[in-house]
Structure 1
């Protein structure tokens, strides 16, 4: 049995429109909504099916205000098209069978004739969207075209899988997954190996490292941090010390401490941030600060303690080293790495103007950047938390007669917390997501990232490194724009990173008299003493008092 193109309500609406009923009366068929888009959709379906059935009726047979005889003919033709068996979709058929005329006009620059032609263009778009080079075709219309064709052609949007990359294992400065440990340094006979059978399934150092990492969630920030430190240590151990990781002793770890402070030769070990697997990837972006070195040793101490407890190592080579002293231990937060209220307003205004004055792909970039910056500022999320936020993390609640919007965040130590979303931010999220993807926020898959990519499937998450680069680029452009009129703000923007937005959130929240306990919960601090460093009032008052008391000397 042929499935009707239009249901009874749609038929009644279309017939009423053809008979000249006012649009206000037709709104009753649409639950009070505007009937115009529904009427246009119904007309398009009928016209395209008539075209597929090769009905020689021209283009004006389904217009409003026809005289009595043509109107009666149009109504009969609707019944004919409704009842007729549709053709079986095939990719060799003309695109004109399936797409409305105004969409075909936008696709004209590509000279596409058949559905197969469009599919070829879609498949060929690697590293960019298939509509990038079509002037006047934006993401909303492009996504609508994809949805329309996918509704008729099952599997049309499934891209051919690229050939499986062959990993070239090397004994060189490469990521851990590509590193080849020489047999003589694999640790199967390391000097520090325990005489007991290990509790973990590891016969060499590489396997032992993998067992240690396997305890952690693969996509978590903790896993990335731990893998990075294990990677650096193993590379240095084999390539610099020429020994097995399970042969390291206290002297070696002292040497490694010095190496972290100044990785040399720099041209081998240091480079700009790159994705793993990129030819220019390096383990370091520069010498590690004291704080970063302390963190590295904390993580490696965890590694060695685990291996000792699992009877893989005999002792922990870090244990005998004195701990690195932190001269700033009484001041764990550098709260001055943040923006003032005025500086934030300048940055926010620049983002708004940049988005409003751009178009096409450039406007989409600014839309995404503005959402990223506003989300980081308004919620105080950490970089890795921003990268992991999905649509399913958003919750809408009705409380005390008001609608509340909340975001569930998986933070440090795999701890969940809930962060409130002000209505202004939620509205920006709704509008921006629709413009970037062509899909309303409430209709997208729950596991889709809140910050979608500009290319490829909407399900692809941005990495923390990608977000860092997007925000840094925006800050640099803002600094260039503001340099003449606001040099101090421009200088801060050139130094700033994504984490400055988190500090700005905490600092301005205190200035706006939000209780410290609430700020602590928003930021995910385990101790309110950390949050209290955002309180500037005592410092400001003390500076003012002494400036007044001794300023005349």
Structure 2
């Protein structure tokens, strides 16, 4: 659990003690003294406990449908001198026994003792506010025995705007929000405008509402560590034989190690003893990973706070995990490390998630794409030139982010009356990708904006460059016909090649800035708010499929080994399917 949760005040319920404290404060009693008296807290925590009491009372008032008056509870403490109910001059005179005095004489004596007669406008306003707050607290007495529940919707306990943001982030119930907070990590990433500070305040409110369950703990046994360490050499040999990508290798290693840890922890078996029943049990385990196996805390593997999973894996993630583990065991069987692959005897096909949205797409819609282009001129000139090229070239070629970042001048070549870019891509495979006229025109313009002549620039000049002027700016061209070896890390630095950690967040900031300035509907903005660089590749593939580019052509352009991956883009062509079905059956009469 995060540090902000550990330091939050003890969970509160809307008890009669809480209401007594709030009434006491409304009557002018000092907050610290009242909190110590009614809520049994220390001097240091009194202010935090008071805020928690206000939060819980306001949440109950909202849930009870008492209108906007819950805001009265958040009004700072009223001035003490304005809280005393004024005594009329008649009541005062009677209490003092001043009989036989004229009104003017009584007024002079009264004001000498009590100050000017008659409250001013501000005092009257404060008194009305005090009475309204006391009436609200009186009404809340009826709800003092109704505690919040983890099954309550967030809309019942939070203001409408915050509840709407929570629901869009996938938190519909208090229990869902609490579970995400307990797991740790940046659970607030889906909440616009929230950072660690505001997230900590929200977490404190959740804790005040429903409290915190015992923090899930997971500790790897010595046997599990031993199996993972013992299989390390085999895992690394398999990864080396299967891929050269560091990113892919990390993913493979994670999935295999997860399985091995599970095999020892849950089945008490070694790698060579795994059978088909263990494989079936792991499939069932992935469908409902226990909460103690999950943690989003930033901790090293097998250290305190770490767990094998960050969250419940989706169906897609489960399929990926099974594919990886099956491939590892198949390799072990082929190399003779195992007698057989137990996964061969198990059905690896998982059903689709019934709640999965069929409308989800990671491609920019034409309207969102227009918004991005229209926002480019708002950037500084150098950044605008780079972003304009990125949008045009990525949409035109569909290159992966890593392929774009390693692209250089020498990779673009004239062939067959057009231009192609040579790519050394995923799986260390080479391919040529068509560079459409629009992308080539954008490339020349981008080089010109950097002070370069595309036709005469050095072969190793990066296609996508940093904004600062590099040590080797790019016009130290070689003689015609003289080739250039691919640059090493040092030369890439000198020539201003851009890195993924620099480009990825810059692109996300650009997308969000463009959306804020756009007239897109809320739904359209939310649909692309989390867009990443990879969306550019999906946009290329989706637009190509919509333009009825043949699947084999698109597969070759994308460099995808499995045609089923490419076929996924063609499922989204609902408008074309609708036109065809409408043409066939739209005018058919009943009979």
Provide TM-score, normalisation by structure 1: 0.49
TM-score w.r.t. structure 2 length? 0.46
Larger Rg: 2
More helix by share: 2
